[in-house]
Amino acid sequence: MRFPAAPVMDTGLRQSPHHIVITKTRDRPDHTLTRCNVHCVRTDIFARLDREPEPPKIETPRMSRHRIALFGGTLAFYLAIVVAVLVSSWLVALDWKVMLFRPYQQWPELHAFLDYYVVLGQRGPTAVMVASWLGWRSWRQHTLRPLLTLGTSLLLLNLSVGAVKLGLGRLGPHYATQIGSAELYAGGDIFPSGHTANAVVTWGILAYLATTPRARRYLSALSAFVSLGVGLTTVYIGTHWLSDVLLGWAAGLLILLALPWFEPLITRTEVWILSVREQWRDRRRLRESVPAAPVTPEPVLLPQALGGGSESAHEAAGRGPASGTAGHPGAAARARAHPAHPVRPERTPPAPAGSRRPPHSDRSPRSSAGPSRPVTGGPVAP
């Protein structure tokens, strides 16, 4: 007999950003919401901040034809800028015109604000801010992919941009020596712009890791606005040429477009880290579950007294706690724990035979037959 299907509840609550439907435990897989399996609905704004019960299924970006075409076009633009600077073309002349225009003198009222705004392109502060957000994402979604993706992108940024900076050695506008020159191979490190490339990668990684198309569109617009503003700010302040900023935008975009090629490596790294963590936890549980071995007291050997002293020592040990410490239980316990030392026997040493004085060779020995000593004041014997 087939029963009629239960009426399905309105699922509009699940689509709301601040409403989370919590269902009851079901015996069979069923994704419909009915009046029987809904436990409660959270409507507070912090509902989306809680940790998800299980890792969500997030589709990783793939290297599609559209992405490959964008990567090829960006790479061609990158190489064109490098060649234009190497041959000192019209782009270098444009750099000098913008530099001599001195935007910071044309609009000095913007200088105070832009000094703080350019911090959004510095690697240290932006990496800390974005890593904090992605760390919370990793905790909430039970995955290390956001943090590993950020680390991979920053590593690629340092290798690619740093190699070109040191290889070309271009000087900045404040250190230029010859008007119209490209200022290459002079020991500088400003081509391409590191602030601009870092702003593209750091803020663009948020759009790359977005889980919904709507969030990806909003974050892409935000990262484009920030990176464009940081690049133009460096030109306004006078720390970079215009061509530096153009090459920085291209360098950052190349890294974002190439990230899908590194997704398998990121996945393998995450699996390895999680397996090492589980092994460490298993060893820790094993150490905690094994009981500690009981400590057995070792016997202590005491010296024994000679002769009858041992009997007197045992008698003294037996009488000591009973007589001397009768009123003190603690002293009696200490006496039982530490028995008396054995007593040496009391014996009288034998008297030595003869005189104890040493003999004298210049004196004659005394005899009983000799004349007696005269008494003082008496008559002298004839």
Phi/psi for 41 (5° steps) reads: -130, 120
* Residues facing residue 22 across a β-bridge: 40
Buried b (16+ CB within 10 A) or exposed e, 114-146: beebbebbebeebbeebbeebeebbebbebbbb
Please give the Cα distance from 29 to 175 (Å, whole number): 68
Please give the Cα distance from 259 to 174 (Å, whole number): 35
Instruction: Please compute the mean of the pLDDT values over residues 141-151 and round it to a whole number.
Output: 92
Q: Is the pLDDT of residue 66 over 70?
A: yes
* Residues facing residue 21 across a β-bridge: 41
Q: What is the pLDDT of residue 202?
A: 94
Please give the Cα distance from 70 to 72 (Å, whole number): 5
Please give the Cα distance from 69 to 108 (Å, whole number): 42
Q: Using a pLDDT cut of 70, give the percent of the chain over it.
A: 64
**154 contact partners, CB below 8 Å, separation of at least 6:** 123, 127, 201, 202
Q: Is the pLDDT of residue 328 over 90?
A: no
Burial class from Cβ neighbours inside 10 Å (0-12, 13-18, 19+) for residue 254 reads buried
Q: What is the pLDDT of residue 255?
A: 95
Q: Is the pLDDT of residue 163 over 90?
A: yes
- Cβ 198 vs Cβ 157: under 8 Å: yes
Q: What is the pLDDT of residue 356?
A: 60
- Cβ 247 vs Cβ 192: under 8 Å: yes
Please give the Cα distance from 93 to 181 (Å, whole number): 8
pTM: predicted TM-score of the whole model, two decimal places: 0.64
Give the helix ranges, DSSP H, for 169-262: 194-208, 213-237, 242-258
What is residue 279's three-state secondary structure? helix
- Give 183-219 pLDDT, tens digit per residue: 999 888 899 999 999 999 999 999 999 888 898 999 9
Phi/psi for 380 (5° steps) reads: -90, 135
Instruction: Please compute the mean of the pLDDT values over residues 52-78 and round it to a whole number.
Output: 87
Instruction: Please compute the mean of the pLDDT values over residues 100-109 and round it to a whole number.
Output: 91
Instruction: Please compute the mean of the pLDDT values over residues 4-31 and round it to a whole number.
Output: 47
Matching residue, tokens 């800028």: 81
Please give the Cα distance from 363 to 7 (Å, whole number): 143
Highest mean predicted confidence (pLDDT) among 174-183, 258-267, 342-351: 258-267
* Residues facing residue 60 across a β-bridge: none
Q: What is the pLDDT of residue 101?
A: 92
Nearest to 58 by CA among 234, 183, 167, 211: 211
The two most distant CA atoms of the chain are separated, in Å, by: 169
- Give 265-321 pLDDT, tens digit per residue: 999 999 999 999 889 988 888 888 877 666 677 776 666 554 445 455 445 445 544
33 secondary structure, DSSP code: -
* Residues facing residue 42 across a β-bridge: 20
Hey, what are 22's tokens? 């919590």
Mean pLDDT in the chain? Answer: 77
In sign, the C-alpha dihedral spanning 75, 80, 83, 84 is: negative
* Residues facing residue 14 across a β-bridge: none
Residue predicted with more confidence, 47 or 245: 245
Residue predicted with more confidence, 109 or 33: 109
Q: Using a pLDDT cut of 90, give the percent of the chain over it.
A: 46
